[in-house]
Structure 1
Amino acid sequence: MSHSHTHHHHRHSPVEGNRNRAFAIGIVLNTAFVVVEVVYGILADSMALLADAGHNLSDVLGLVLAWGAAWLAGRQATKYRTYGMRKTTILAALLNALILMVAIGGIGWESVRRLMDPAPVAGQTVIIVALIGTAINAATMMLFMAGQKEDLNIRGAFLHMAADAGVSLGVAVGGALILWTGWLWIDPILSLVIVLVIFMGTWGLFRESLNLSLDGVPSGIDPDDVKAHLEGMTGVEGVHHLHIWAMSTTENALTAHVVKPDPDDDDAFAQTIHDRMRREFGIGHVTIQWERDTRQCPDV
């Protein structure tokens, strides 16, 4: 029985330099805005601005968390951490989702409380500061636009910024409508709508990151299709003990026992399997254990 293990070195998207720049710019801009919100929140005696400052601070922490995980994922493997620390990107995405859940829970609670007991909204200062926050968070969100499609960790940072931009815009729009109509219930209603929108995006992030943290099959990969593809290759009589999981938010791995009675060209055949798994399913780390007889390892 022989063992073949092939590797593919995955190139992260966005590239590391652009990713680091995006995180650095996002952290600096949002930290500066937190300070601005606190100062003007105190000057305008606005609890709305102070609460939004707290929400923005959680986003800064989320960016720091995602950046730290991306950096750790790039560290070399060691004798005791044979995969390195790639999985920190998955854990960071999960923690980011949990932080967002807590944040929208707090916003939702405060919105319900204000709906039952509407409070006067601060004046024009609140609207101006909220619009500045919307611009800053939208700009930061755009920095992660490309990478969030392929990297769950980057997606967590993207959703954080999108959520904050939505909250800030809601504060500004609500403030303007209230100043125009005098209807104090507009602010909490808008906040609840924003909470619902954020929750819908965050739930997907939470579910997917939780699945990957438990070594579930990454979304977009059908294990039945993978097995059928392997079994359909010339010379293969069976496939079992098939395992597919995520090593990080950008790298997937596969191990399988492949029944191939003919021992000729094992190495070349393993490379063929690797190339097809990478091309067809985005699985870059493939480990194949050859078997010559199904009776040697029953399918359990």
Structure 2
Amino acid sequence: MNNHHSGSGAGASEHGHGHSHSHAHSHGSHNHSHAPKDFGFAFALGTGLNVAFIVIEAIVGFFVNSMALIADAGHNLSDVLGLLLAWGASVLLKRRPTLQYTYGFGSSTILAALANAVLLLVAVGAIALEAIQRLGSTPPVAGGTVIVVAGIGILINGFTAWLFASGRHGDVNIRGAYLHMVADAAISLGVVIVGFAILMTGWNWLDPLVSLAIAAIIVWGTWGLLRDTIRLALQGVPLGISTERVQRRLSELPGVESVHDLHIWPMSTTDTALTCHLVMPGGHPGDAFISEAAKMLHDEFEIRHTTLQFEVGPKAPCGLDQGCMPGRRASATGT
């Protein structure tokens, strides 16, 4: 059985309008099994490898007069900044709440993910602009050198992306870092292909053309990240959670007549909170009810921070447009 904390217990205060209120906050001990994975080592290793590669790529690009390599080094630099943003947010996520930040600093992961998505789009825009300008007059490209350096880039960026692969589905902040590295690996692969094609045909215009195609692919993949992070930043209900289904499950709990003032929002890229009012004419249901309700919300919806307020007076007419949902009286054994 999980441990939960009740703000006021069964002794609810009575008010003139016939309602009694109590607040219950639940933080299940089972949460540790779903705690965000620590990607500190992945961030440190990925950042170090990419900084070293940026220096090498820029130096080689300068000496062989390859604007393609220099431009790619600039793009990689923006990705390192993205990694640092995501890393900093993951560190802040672990800081304990303070008197000023009572929810902690988990929302910084949302801001970092949003900044990462914007950085990706800005970097892609710079690549596309450079490619369009180069279509008119493409300078000679040192195909052999480009192949070697870009091949190293594939290995480094592909390995870094692999470090974040396991967290890309459950955390949009980690997903942003992952997409940065995948985008870099894709660009490096495109550069390798272009290098071989130029060596075989001498068609230097292939370089900017393939760059435009890669930029379009990156935009396609980044758009979903941007959409998801904007949703979280606006405190929208996280994807994968149905508000209607949560309302229905709460209304099916024993003794619940109706549910209203239901709010579900993200506290970070991995944690979700819920508050709602339960109309229970039979009175405060006790700590066991609170524990079971919180466990249900966690197990079925991954909602880890639950606050319930109970009302015992007659309910007002309500519907979904008023933010509440009529429920049915359930049996003592529940449903």
TM-score interval for Structure 1 and Structure 2 normalised by the shorter chain? over 0.9
| Number of residue pairs the alignment of both structures matches | 298
CA separation in 2, counterparts of 1:55 and 1:42? 15
Distance verdict in 2 for CA 1:13–1:7, change over 3 Å? closer
Give yes or no for the alignment of 1:103 onto 2:123.
yes
CA separation in 2, counterparts of 1:114 and 1:130? 19
Structure having the larger proportion of residues in helix? 1
RMSD: 1.6
SS at match of 2:168: helix
Deviation at 1:258, TM superposition (A): 0.9
Map of 2:28 onto structure 1: 8
Give yes or no for the alignment of 1:126 onto 2:146.
yes
The one-letter amino acid paired with 2:253 is M
Map of 1:201 onto structure 2: 221
Equivalent in 273, 282, 285 of residue 265 of structure 1: 285
CA separation in 2, counterparts of 1:14 and 1:24? 17
Map of 1:143 onto structure 2: 163
Equivalent in 98, 102, 108 of residue 88 of structure 1: 108
Equivalent in 247, 253, 275 of residue 273 of structure 2: 253
Equivalent in 224, 232, 257 of residue 212 of structure 1: 232
Map of 1:79 onto structure 2: 99
Give yes or no for the alignment of 1:51 onto 2:71.
yes
For residues 201-236 of structure 1, the C-alpha deviation after alignment (integer angstroms, 9 at most, x for no partner) is 111111111110111110111111111111122211
CA separation in 1, counterparts of 2:112 and 2:300? 28
Provide the TM-score with structure 1 as the length reference.
0.95
**Structure 1: which 5+ residue stretches go unaligned?**
none
SS at match of 1:288: strand
Deviation at 1:42, TM superposition (A): 1.0
Give yes or no for the alignment of 1:171 onto 2:188.
no
Contact residue 13 and residue 147 of structure 1 kept, 8 A = no
Map of 1:286 onto structure 2: 306
Contact residue 111 and residue 233 of structure 2 kept, 8 A = yes
Deviation at 1:123, TM superposition (A): 3.1
**Structure 2: which 5+ residue stretches go unaligned?**
1-20, 324-335
SS at match of 1:145: helix
SS at match of 2:47: helix
Deviation at 1:3, TM superposition (A): 1.3
Distance verdict in 2 for CA 1:297–1:271, change over 3 Å? farther
Indicate the structure (1 or 2) with the bigger Cα radius of gyration.
2
Distance verdict in 2 for CA 1:133–1:184, change over 3 Å? same
Contact residue 116 and residue 176 of structure 2 kept, 8 A = yes
Map of 1:181 onto structure 2: 201
SS at match of 1:149: coil
Deviation at 1:117, TM superposition (A): 2.9
Provide the TM-score with structure 2 as the length reference.
0.85
Contact residue 130 and residue 169 of structure 1 kept, 8 A = yes
Equivalent in 252, 277, 288 of residue 297 of structure 2: 277
The one-letter amino acid paired with 2:187 is V
SS at match of 2:308: strand
The one-letter amino acid paired with 2:264 is I
